[in-house]
Structure 1
């Protein structure tokens, strides 16, 4: 059986992303390693407290030879529009989670809405990645 261990978001600034995911969302840093031999490539990952087997890699948009300038610009454009992927976070009490996130400075792009699958709301990280909080049921 296969299991998800990590997913990846492109970010403009890894330090700002680390601050957002840990301070505002309450996640924990999982790894922060810089590899000099790979042009100071930084592997930065965070994850939900209490869910140690899942991580979100916060990846800087690479330059050549990994990604040419045109592709990097396209990725930045898609990020600005919120179209580079979604992260869905579930909670047992979406209203309390929403209130807590607002108090921590998270700005929601969609407020709490009743849906056929439950109640959800969405916000974006500093790089434009879309995140939804959901209470199923």
Structure 2
């Protein structure tokens, strides 16, 4: 039996800003860009991993969510505490420089962690925390 990760979901609050960050800055390819009414789902992923994608989705799109719940979710997203994802690269310092030059919101500069990994952290345009590890 084989189990893989196919999709991870992150909310976005601005489709164009999300596209710029994930496609233009991180270099992910756009796999789908689907609109429905005034909402937009964008699927992106690394070009060398066609089976693994991130779905950037409208926050709280479920019609059963109340306006108060939707506001709470948006507040948590903006603080960077709603959800996160970890990525990995073979050139952490180079990717950090590219993200910083693009104006990404730096949370932590590259550093060696006590648990043995070198990493950095950013927030994407919606506020989601993106941690990036240096591949060994």
Instruction: Name the count of aligned residue pairs.
Output: 134
1:1-137 maps to which residues of 2 (within 5 A)? 1-35=2-36, 39=37, 41-62=39-60, 65-115=63-113, 116-137=115-136
Q: SS where residue 16 of structure 1 aligns? A: helix
TM-score normalised per structure 1: 0.86
5+ residue gaps, structure 2, are none
5+ residue gaps, structure 1, are none
What RMSD in Å do the two structures reach over aligned CA positions?
1.9
- Counterpart-to-counterpart distance in 1, 2:119 and 2:98: 14
CA deviation after TM superposition for structure 1 residue 30, in Å:
0.8
Change (3 A) 1:66 1:40: farther
